[in-house]
Amino acid sequence: MSKKKLLLLLCIFLLSKLYSQGGKVGIDTSTPHQKTVLDIVSKTNNTGVLFPRLTTSNIASVNPTIGDALVDGLWVYNTDTKCYNYWAAAPQNQWLQICGTPLTIISTGAATLNCTGATSTGTLVSGQAASGVSVTVPYTAGNGGPYSAQSIASTGVAGLTANIGAGNFNNGSGNLVFNISGAPTTSGTATFAINMGGSTCSVSVNVNTNQGQATLTCNGTTTSGTLVANTTASGVSFTIPYTAGNGGPYAAQSITPTGVAGLTASIAAGNFNNGSGSLTYTVSGQPTSAGTASFAVNIGGSTCTVNLTVIAGYNLSKLKILSVGLAPWGIDSSVNSGLGVVMENPYIFSSYYPGGSNTAAPFQTIGNWDITRRSVASGGINDLNNSGYKLLLVGYTYDITASEIASVQAFVNNGGTVIWYSEVNSVNTANLVRTYVGQGATMSALGDCYANNTGSSILVGDFGDARLMKYGNDACNPKSWSGVNFNLIEPLSFSPTNQNIVGFKSKTSEFYWFGDGGMTFYSGGVPPVSGNRYPWLLDGGQRPVIGTWNNQTNISNSVMMMNIIVKAMKAAQ
């Protein structure tokens, strides 16, 4: 290839890199600056321009003519002095140099943090997402270098993060601003350990308690249980619904009423729901008189007054009872009728005391029990659902007829209480009980003299705690159930021999079944009672007691049965 061709190709290449607009030349730019003749652009931002590089002697050899304006401003780089030299024409007429200072490139930022001078904006509340909250940390001795982004988890109070984006320290003093995100799990002090620019320190931010708020719906208040003058409250409470709950906490409260002294309504600390919910206050103590106890409730920024009636005594006649089966195993006047002895004890039910008042009795009552007693073995419950009965006691040897099965089921479904202890294993009785234990269950006789009680809370009541005690079987000949559906019943007692069920309560109703018809048989004496008869135990004041019978301790028949009857009596009020 000839030299002419090479020169032509070189010119074409150079022209491809040059752009000209109005006499202005741009290298690697099509739009040279308007104030330039030549505009050179580093297209990749990592290239520069190289001027002629000469030694000092090279520069001296240029020998410009004195006063020669054509070389005024001639620019070269001196490789000996590492300076740029340019020729200054008259009046200087000499080479001048430009020598720079070292360029310091800082790769790591440094500063001294001052956490004691930190300030915060915004408020943190437990359980609520942080919004508009930040911490500003001042610093000194900044070197202008960079720092990387950071996210710092809190300690002391979990759930928060302090965040800062990447940036550069100032030269000297400045501030670092951390934005706080997340939701604190509790109240207290949230601490952030900062490590930046070779300096460490900690900043703390207070997290406030989330005060609960709600709107009480006072007219929707419901109550449970009955308050009786001079009687210790048991199972009494009131429940207030609310709306507009904010999920915040409320403190424990104990409220004393006006109108009647001796009572307290209490609620443990807790949290409102977000939205609607309810608050239940438990009432304790012993009211000193009959009347209206007024509780002023103030919680969650809302108030209302709850009025509870305190009656002079439980009206025994409100629990209308039908007792069937042979005597003396029902409610009878015989000395051997454990039920009759207890239920007419003036030291238990005050209205049986001469004059109708006994303030020392555990149950302050009005009037007498309304009892229909039919000492029959069958056919005695034909009026069960049309005479106002609320409690049905089915005692020893009573055998239900086929037509009475539906009557008992209807009675139970309408809220009646049934205590079944007939000890009869007939087709009709078994069919009725299978309604509650499951159709695949089987009833059979046992030779056990006692059964072991379970830990069910149903065995706890006003007369005592029969959980994990024993159930005595008169004459050691009870009935039991196997193959039961435990989804349907709450076991109360079971055989120590084969684990069969000897006592249970329906999970969905007030139907109770016990396998021994003689469980209420009373000797007339006090424990310990020898022999395998009379497992109904009373103390010297003829009050239900857990004691020794037939060489077995912790026999609890009287306590179990009377707990159920008194529960029904209270519910009838």
Which tens digits make up the pLDDT trace of 312-336? 999 999 999 999 999 999 999 999 9
Write b or e for each residue in 124-161: b if 16 or more Cβ atoms lie within 10 A of its Cβ, otherwise e.
bbbbbebeebbbebbbeebbebebeebebebebbebbb
445 and 549 housed in the same domain: yes
Q: How confident is the model at residue 61 (pLDDT cuts 50, 70, 90)?
A: confident
Write the DSSP string, 328-349: TSSS-SSTTBHHHHHHT-TTTB
Whether residue 564 is predicted with pLDDT greater than 90 in this model: the reply is: yes
231 and 166 housed in the same domain: no
Task: List Cα–Cα distances, 552 to 160, 338, 529, in angstroms.
Answer: 62, 19, 9
Domains contained in the chain, number:
4
Whether residue 549 is predicted with pLDDT greater than 70 in this model: the reply is: yes
Domain assignment present for residue 406? The answer is: yes
Question: Which residue range(s) make up the domain with 86?
Answer: 21-97
pLDDT of residue 68: 60
378 and 505 housed in the same domain: yes
The contacts of residue 526 (CB under 8 Å, 6+ apart) are 537, 538, 539, 540, 547
519 and 554 housed in the same domain: yes
pLDDT of residue 249: 87
CA nearest neighbour of 301 among 248, 222, 238, 239: 248
Domain assignment present for residue 187? The answer is: no
How far apart, in whole angstroms, are the C-alpha atoms of residue 340 and residue 359?
22
The fraction of the chain above a pLDDT of 70, given in percent, is 94
How far apart, in whole angstroms, are the C-alpha atoms of residue 218 and residue 295?
12
Q: How confident is the model at residue 14 (pLDDT cuts 50, 70, 90)?
A: very low
Question: Which of 259, 284, 311 is at the close of a domain?
Answer: 311
| Cβ(453)–Cβ(225) below 8 Å | no
Domain assignment present for residue 253? The answer is: yes
- Residue 136's Cβ-side half-sphere holds a number of Cα atoms within 13 Å equal to 8
Q: For 250-265, how does the pLDDT look when each residue is reduced to its tens digit (9 = 90+)?
A: 999 999 999 999 999 9
Report the CATH number at residue 531.
3.40.50.880
Whether residue 4 is predicted with pLDDT greater than 80 in this model: the reply is: no
CA nearest neighbour of 62 among 453, 54, 445, 521: 54
Q: Which residue in the block uniquely carries the two structure tokens 């106890």?
A: 293
408 and 517 housed in the same domain: yes
How far apart, in whole angstroms, are the C-alpha atoms of residue 93 and residue 70?
12
395 and 511 housed in the same domain: yes
Whether residue 10 is predicted with pLDDT greater than 70 in this model: the reply is: no
Domain assignment present for residue 413? The answer is: yes
| Least confident segment among 4-8, 145-149, 500-504 | 4-8
Whether residue 3 is predicted with pLDDT greater than 70 in this model: the reply is: no
Average pLDDT of the chain, as a whole number:
92
Question: Which of 284, 311, 338 is at the close of a domain?
Answer: 311
As to burial, measured by CB atoms within 10 angstroms (0-12 exposed, 13-18 middle, 19+ buried), residue 544 is buried
pLDDT of residue 103: 67
Report the CATH number at residue 221.
2.60.40
Whether residue 89 is predicted with pLDDT greater than 90 in this model: the reply is: no
pLDDT of residue 538: 98
How far apart, in whole angstroms, are the C-alpha atoms of residue 511 and residue 490?
11
CA nearest neighbour of 495 among 517, 474, 478: 478
How far apart, in whole angstroms, are the C-alpha atoms of residue 314 and residue 322?
19
Which DSSP state fits 64? P
pTM of the model as a whole: 0.60
| Cβ(17)–Cβ(27) below 8 Å | yes
Domain assignment present for residue 195? The answer is: no
384 and 468 housed in the same domain: yes
How far apart, in whole angstroms, are the C-alpha atoms of residue 471 and residue 375?
25
Determine the straight-line distance between the first and last CA of the chain, rounded to whole angstroms.
124
Amino acid at 256: T
Domain assignment present for residue 256? The answer is: yes
Domain assignment present for residue 549? The answer is: yes
Which DSSP state fits 100? P
The beta strands (E) that lie in 429-488 are given as: 442-445, 450-453, 460-461, 464-465, 470-472, 479-482
Longest dimension (CA), the chain: 151
Sheet containing 188-196, strands listed edge to edge, beginning at the edge strand earlier in sequence:
124-125, 199-208, 188-196
293 and 331 housed in the same domain: no
Domain assignment present for residue 344? The answer is: yes
245 and 300 housed in the same domain: yes
344 and 296 housed in the same domain: no
Q: Which residue in the block uniquely carries the two structure tokens 């009025």?
A: 307
Q: Per-residue pLDDT averaged across 188-196, rounded?
A: 96
Write b or e for each residue in 286-298: b if 16 or more Cβ atoms lie within 10 A of its Cβ, otherwise e.
ebeebbebebebe
284 and 408 housed in the same domain: no
Beta bridge partners of 445: 479
Amino acid at 273: N
77 and 169 housed in the same domain: no
How far apart, in whole angstroms, are the C-alpha atoms of residue 325 and residue 179?
80
Question: Which of 292, 311, 330 is at the close of a domain?
Answer: 311
